[in-house]
Amino acid sequence: MPTIFVDNKPYMVSPGQNMLQACLSLGFDIPYYCWHPALNSVGACRMCAVKQFKDANDTKGKIVMSCMTPANDGTRISIDDQDAVKFRKRISEWLMINHPHDCPVCDEGGECHLQDMTLLTGHVYRRYRFDKRTHTNQNLGPFITHEMNRCIQCYRCVRYYNDYAGGRDLGVFCWHDHVYFGRSKDGVLKSQFAGNLVEICPTGVFTDKTLARHYTRKWDLQNAPSICPHCSLGCNTIPGERYGTLRRIRNRYNSHVNGYFLCDRGRFGYEFVNSGRRIKRPFYRQAKKFELMAKDIIVEKISEIIKASRNVIGIGSPRASLESNYSLRTLVGPHRFYNGLSETQTQVLSTITEILKNSPLQSASLSQIGMADAVFILGEDVSNSAPMIELALRQAALTKPSVIPEKMHIEKWNDYPFREAIGQEKSPIYIATCNTTVIDEIAKGTYRASPDDIARLGFAVAHEIDAQAPAIGDISKEMKAIAKMIAEDLKAAQRPLVISGTMLKSRSLIQAAANVAYALEKTGKKPLICFAPESSNSIGMGLLEHKSINSAVKAAERGPVDAVIILENDIYNHVDSDTAEQIFKAVKNIIVIDSMRNQTTLRANFVLPAAAYAESDGTFVNNEARAQRFFKVFVPAGDIKESWQWFRDIMLGAGISEADKWKNFDGIVNDIASKLPVFKDINKITPRADFRIAGQKIPRQPHRYSGRTAMYANIDVREHKTIEDNNSPLSFSMEGFDGRPPSSLITHFWAPSWNSVQSVNKFQDEIAGPLRGGDPGIKLIEPQQQAAGEYFKEIPNGFKINDDELLILPAAHVFGSEEQSAISPSIAELAPKPYITVNPADAERLVINNECEIEITLSGVTHLLGLESSTAIPNGIAIVPAGLKDLQWDGLPVRVKLKRR
Amino acid sequence: MEKPLTKNFKTDGSVCSLSEYEKRGGFQALRKALKMPPGEIQQMVTESNLLGRGGAGFPTGKKWGFVPMGKDAPRPKYFAVNADEMEPGSFKDRVLMEGDPNLIVEGTIISSYATEAQAAYIFIRWGYKLSTERMNKAIAEAYEKNYLGRNIMGSSYSLDMYIHTSAGRYMCGEESSLINALGGKRGIPRTKPPYVVTCGLWGKPSVVDNVETIANVPHIVSNGAKWFKGLSLTEEGGTKIYGVSGKVKKPGWWELPMGTAIGEVIQEYAGGMNDGLQLRGLLPGGASTSFLTEEHLDTKMDFASMAKTGSGLGTGTITVLDDENCPVGMVNNLESFFARSSCGWCTPCREGLPWVSRILNSMEAGKGEISDLEILREHTVFLDTGHTFCALAPCAMNPLRSAMQYFGDDFKRHVTEHRCPWRD
């Protein structure tokens, strides 16, 4: 461990750092702009200047940039040296020359790194007396506002966008003090990770456009630690609310999961919470009769139905919290509880959970994905179904070739030489999908085929790695050659990774992926496996229940079923309408709890308004079986309640005694932990509701939160009692513990002098490492070292094309396929129009090549789709966008005859 | 005296064809070099004490010595000739390329061979149209005669040579910015270490040498290190193309022994000041060098001697300031050039140089303020090596700092008299 000297005091630091990182980790306040913990050092801004001395006798020293100085043993610097202080002040003066006096009207104000650093250096008075340079701004799409006058040319935006995130359409233009960052012409930024620019940019050049529409200062927001509900990865977020509406999503650092970044769906998909489609009040509907009901009345009515019923079934949801699902399960009884998925989806999901529970395979976190040095993706277009995997894969591409700069003694933190030495070299990444993907450009090989053929390739790769793995009898020469190539690269890797998912609803793909991983395990490698199911709590549901909606239909047909309770699930998204209708026809009382009006709520008799995720406390289990806690950011308005509380109240009314234990959130969490072994640790994710620090709760509001009484002064001037939170150690106020709470309870990142997102530094022991005390979240499943993964033997047949049919496959779209975010207006703006893409050869074969629109009938519904063609689509296959309005979900994959219009 | 660099120049301004060049002894050096191991050529160049003629004066042989050699070295390796001559006041490289392009081609091939490069790029300034035309022709002719391409002159060495026209930015004259620009990136400099000799074009070992430096290599190979040292008046080997511009009787260029004194160049060769004018000051080697005055006229124009004066040899092309020209106006011209040239990467240069330029403009317009002088002085201290990312801004401060030192009163008068005293 090297020892460095800062202002003549010795400190031990971890090896391999630069002085800026090392000093920030030690708690020193060295100002900086262009360095970033995920982007490393380039030495452009000159803000982190310190004085370096050759040895203890050197009194003169010279100014160096701490971000570019290796923290080797004996390195000696002074931060407080007067020359360094003056120089840093001068840098602030130079940056202020052209900076507009925007603070009062700039969105960034209050969480602006430029504000913080300018204050830190002590620069105050303006000596420059000439004009400022100005720029014109561009329209970059619905997510990000562009205000170039504020730019301090730290170059972080283009380095993040191009180097880190692989984007191409954001660049640097012009020279000297006219440097401009933008696109070659106005247009939506193409990368779906562009939203991170709003946190990367240290000033207000790139700001959250969705926030701007309902703007609030950072210090006026009420926040809580939350989990993104828009895919299965479980990125940690901090949503902010004011006056009862959700204003914005901010990244919540977690070194294992999302790190410093989010995808745009997660960052901008929140506006559904404020949507006009929200169900706000309970109501009862019977034939033409519609009646709003007070909440205690409707609870009473439903309790009565429950008391009088002998057979009530419950359909849960993979996007609802563990607690909400469990409470429904308890209400109806485990044998009457269904998982809210179709039979096909259930088979795929249970295959995944069985593999995770009973095998020696390590499930990869996003940060582990970023360190893989060979990757094989089977079938899943991760860029659209679980987008942050793409961002991690772009970092994984650098893992294998990092030996090149290592040999040249170039440190990883020295960003430009590190990347220059690597050049175009990449870790081998193989992508086997049904269509082109955004990350084809970083792939060593791509394989386009039907899901079954991709699975066969997977089985073949496993066999090439381990001859004990089942072989494909009728393998083609072409597939064998490709399988060999992939196997070679996986075998040669230190950290091989296999990825698959549930978009194509193919169990074979999951099994093939597992076989590849087992084969690597058996040959002594330490492979990682990553399964990406659809929803925020898919794995949680997979560990809870395996009975599908189709089973519920059978139960309803066997009958009689007195009531069905559907929890936060538009079942038309999972099963076709005929199947859904069967339930509604067979059951007398249809009780639905959801936050949004949808097709299922339209069929309900009783509708109870559910709290959205930002209005709830709960647990989601992510794709790697990491159980993570989210707390309510704000109390929902009026009659909206968390689903588990609705169920509790119904159970109490119906005399079901288990609900007595659920007096507060801890009650139900403890109940689950004590009753279900796989969830035994979920009561350890966060401290209990009675946790205090020095007798204080943790405030949801920053200490500068304002307007508490002014807000209502037009109505009355009393000091209203703060809403009490008996469910968590957080308070709905700014009063409380002012320091850094345990990492699972962080409601906002702030430290004295550090108002911006850079304050995350102060919550880590080491920069870019875990949060102090460990990142929140607990993995529920660890690899079973004793178990030897048993090879799956059911190899699917090769894909056969029928004369006048096409196999219709769903394609995920980051914007539009996920149910809740698709309602947010900015996301909806970017969702694709319905289309069907076929191979031109098929278009000719089916004589549709001159059409521009095609009619197809799925699940009894006829759709008109714009016809597109692409040679990348394998023969016999057509792609349609998944999850778009009216495109039935479980209809796909299905073989369909196409009709000309 | 021997003038190896310019001996093939024609007085009518036309240029030798390749066969004429061969008749005058051209490509004999290459023939000889291909029979020597590359290390031996490097040795010769080191012993000859050839210093880089781009302005920095780094020993050429020493630079080549840093290139990883042998079968385990990273490949492909590259050689780039810095023909981006944009230092204000310099024109010696243009003179060489227009006058004897074949010499440059031969010198590049030998130097590439000496460093095992597979491709050589002549990175030439956009504005040098005639040079580009003549260099293109020389390269094409060299390919025809198998001096370029596969298995040159029957040896096992192959080399491809390309002309790369710069998009036109002063910053690209710096070796690492040149490599970036050549590689299709923005022409901003790189942090060092690693140096381009180990991690250069596309991360591979690359050498960047100035046109005039390369022009010496065939002669060193042909005649030896001792001969080369003998051409000079000092320890630093070879001849040098010196130039003079300004209000002298015969502005121009001359190939002279390295170490010729400043005064000799100005008086003997440039004919001294025009009638009625006095020498006020001079920039010895381009806008990036500090002013010197008549007290320095005895200084030998080689790198070491010039460094002792506090200025530098730079490109060796002198710009003379006469006593009827406003020093502030001259410095204003230079600083506006530097401000325009800033690549915009690092804060002090990007923001500081335009500020300096605006102050000088304002002083020339009679709107200067007393506090401006302090701001100018501060910039000459703060824009120092290590404070900025590269040497552009520190070099930009050389003429300003030295002008304020030698012509400080002129600056003050602009402010106190609210006008430029040289204008009526």
A32-42 per-position pLDDT tens digit: 999 999 999 99
Angular region, A4: left φ>0, alpha ψ -120 to 50, beta rest: beta
- Interface contact A175-B169, CB threshold 8 A: yes
Residue among B217, B270, B251, B162 at smallest CA distance from B32: B217
Task: Name the residue in chain A with its Cα closest to that of B353.
Answer: A176
Name every chain B residue with its beta carbon within 8 A of the beta carbon of A90.
Answer: 348, 378, 382
Largest pairwise CA distance in chain B = 73
- Interface contact B387-A45, CB threshold 8 A: no
Q: Which of the residues A175, A406, A410 would you substitute to probe the B interface, choosing the one with the greatest number of B C-beta atoms within 10 Å?
A: A175
- Provide Rg for chain A, Cα atoms: 28
Residue among A566, A580, A702, A701 at smallest CA distance from A646: A566
Task: Name the residue in chain A with its Cα closest to that of B352.
Answer: A94
- Interface contact B386-A64, CB threshold 8 A: yes
Name every chain A residue with its beta carbon within 8 A of the beta carbon of B348.
Answer: 46, 90-91, 94
Q: Please write the tens of the pLDDT for every residue from B310-320.
A: 999 999 999 99
Chain B residues near any Cβ of chain A (below 8 Å): 169, 186, 190-191, 193-194, 198-199, 202-203, 339-348, 350-355, 358, 362, 369, 371, 375, 378, 382, 384, 386-389
Residue among A840, A858, A861 at smallest CA distance from A894: A858
Q: Can you name the residues that pair with A315 across neighbouring β-strands?
A: A338, A566
- Interface contact B342-A95, CB threshold 8 A: no
On the CB side of B349, CA atoms within 13 Å amount to: 32
A128 neighbors B355 (Cβ within 8 angstroms): yes
Name every chain B residue with its beta carbon within 8 A of the beta carbon of A172.
Answer: 186, 344
Angular region, B416: left φ>0, alpha ψ -120 to 50, beta rest: alpha
Asked if residue A394 has pLDDT above 70, the reply is yes
Q: Which of the residues B335, B347, B355, B373 would you substitute to probe the A interface, choosing the one with the greatest number of A C-beta atoms within 10 Å?
A: B347
Q: How confident is the model over A236-247, as a mean pLDDT?
A: 97
Q: Please write the tens of the pLDDT for every residue from A106-165.
A: 999 999 999 999 999 999 999 999 999 999 999 999 999 999 999 999 999 999 999 999
What letters, b where the CB count within 10 A reaches 16 and e where it falls short, cover B53-73?
bbbebebbbebbbebbbeeee
Q: How far is B346 from chain A (nearest CA, A)?
A: 5
Q: How far is B128 from chain A (nearest CA, A)?
A: 22
pTM attached to this predicted model: 0.96
CA–CA separation, B422 and A90 (whole Å): 34
- Interface contact A417-B194, CB threshold 8 A: yes
Q: How confident is the model over A583-591, as a mean pLDDT?
A: 93
Instruction: Please identify which residue in the block is written with the tokens 């590259």.
Output: B78
Largest pairwise CA distance in chain A = 92
Name every chain B residue with its beta carbon within 8 A of the beta carbon of A414.
Answer: 191
H-helix or E-strand spanning residue A672: helix A665-675
Cα separation values, A201 from A100, A195, A207, A210, Å: 16, 11, 8, 17
pLDDT at A130: 97
- Interface contact A416-B354, CB threshold 8 A: no
Name residues 8-67 of chain A within 8 A of B (Cβ). Answer: 42-47, 49, 62-64
Determine the 3-state secondary structure of A255 from DSSP.
coil
Q: How far is B120 from chain A (nearest CA, A)?
A: 20
Asked if residue B9 has pLDDT above 60, the reply is yes
- Same topology, domains B18-230 and B239-322? Answer is no
Angular region, A687: left φ>0, alpha ψ -120 to 50, beta rest: beta
Q: How far is A526 from chain B (nearest CA, A)?
A: 31
Task: Name the residue in chain A with its Cα closest to that of B374.
Answer: A127
- Interface contact B344-A174, CB threshold 8 A: yes
CA–CA separation, B127 and A587 (whole Å): 85
- Interface contact A47-B342, CB threshold 8 A: no
pLDDT band at A847 (very low <50, low <70, confident <90, very high): confident
Retrieve residue A698's tokens: 């943790």
Alpha helices per DSSP H over B54-198: 60-65, 92-99, 101-114, 129-144, 175-182
A387 neighbors A816 (Cβ within 8 angstroms): no
Name every chain A residue with its beta carbon within 8 A of the beta carbon of B340.
Answer: 175-176
pLDDT at A889: 57
- Interface contact A45-B347, CB threshold 8 A: yes
Give the architecture (CATH level 2) of B239-322.
Answer: Roll (3.10)
Asked if residue A901 has pLDDT above 80, the reply is no
- Interface contact B191-A95, CB threshold 8 A: no
Q: Using a pLDDT cut of 90, give the percent of chain A over it.
A: 88
Q: Please write the tens of the pLDDT for every residue from A464-497.
A: 999 999 999 899 999 999 999 999 999 999 999 9
Q: Please write the tens of the pLDDT for every residue from A448-470.
A: 999 999 999 999 999 999 999 99
Task: Name the residue in chain A with its Cα closest to that of B171.
Answer: A175
Count of helices and strands (H, E) across chain B: 17, 8
How many CB pairs below 8 Å do chains A and B form together?
104
Q: How far is B156 from chain A (nearest CA, A)?
A: 28
Cα separation values, A747 from A236, A633, A697, B99, B361, Å: 11, 9, 12, 72, 53
Q: How far is B297 from chain A (nearest CA, A)?
A: 34
Q: Please write the tens of the pLDDT for every residue from A792-816.
A: 999 999 999 887 888 999 999 999 9
Mean residue pLDDT of chain A comes to 95
Is A127 in CB contact (< 8 Å) with chain B? yes
Task: Name the residue in chain A with its Cα closest to that of B196.
Answer: A417
Name every chain B residue with its beta carbon within 8 A of the beta carbon of A45.
Answer: 346-347
Amino acid at site B311: S
Is A175 in CB contact (< 8 Å) with chain B? yes
Q: Which of A13-27, A44-58, A700-714, A722-736 has the lowest mean pLDDT?
A: A700-714
Fold observed for domain B327-416: de novo design (two linked rop proteins) (1.20.1440)
Q: Which of the residues B346, B370, B390 would you substitute to probe the A interface, choosing the one with the greatest number of A C-beta atoms within 10 Å?
A: B346
Q: How far is A21 from chain B (nearest CA, A)?
A: 18
Q: Please write the tens of the pLDDT for every residue from A599-655.
A: 999 999 999 999 999 999 999 999 999 999 999 999 999 899 999 999 999 999 999
Determine the 3-state secondary structure of A870 from DSSP.
coil
Give the architecture (CATH level 2) of B18-230.
Answer: 3-Layer(aba) Sandwich (3.40)
Q: How far is B191 from chain A (nearest CA, A)?
A: 8
Name every chain B residue with its beta carbon within 8 A of the beta carbon of A87.
Answer: 382, 387
Where along chain B do its domains lie? 18-230, 239-322, 327-416
Retrieve residue B182's tokens: 């050549």
Q: Which of the residues A33, A40, A46 would you substitute to probe the B interface, choosing the one with the greatest number of B C-beta atoms within 10 Å?
A: A46
Q: How far is B169 from chain A (nearest CA, A)?
A: 10
Q: Please write the tens of the pLDDT for every residue from A163-210.
A: 999 999 999 999 999 999 999 999 999 999 999 999 999 999 999 999
My answer on whether omega of the bond before B193 falls inside 30° of 0, hence cis, is: yes
Name every chain A residue with its beta carbon within 8 A of the beta carbon of B341.
Answer: 175-176
- Interface contact A97-B186, CB threshold 8 A: no
Name every chain B residue with its beta carbon within 8 A of the beta carbon of A153.
Answer: 344, 347, 350
pLDDT band at A890 (very low <50, low <70, confident <90, very high): low
Q: Which of the residues B169, B343, B351 would you substitute to probe the A interface, choosing the one with the greatest number of A C-beta atoms within 10 Å?
A: B351
CA–CA separation, A339 and A346 (whole Å): 8
Q: How confident is the model over A560-572, as a mean pLDDT?
A: 95
Q: How far is B365 from chain A (nearest CA, A)?
A: 14
CA–CA separation, A358 and A520 (whole Å): 17
Q: How far is A123 from chain B (nearest CA, A)?
A: 15
- Interface contact B354-A155, CB threshold 8 A: no
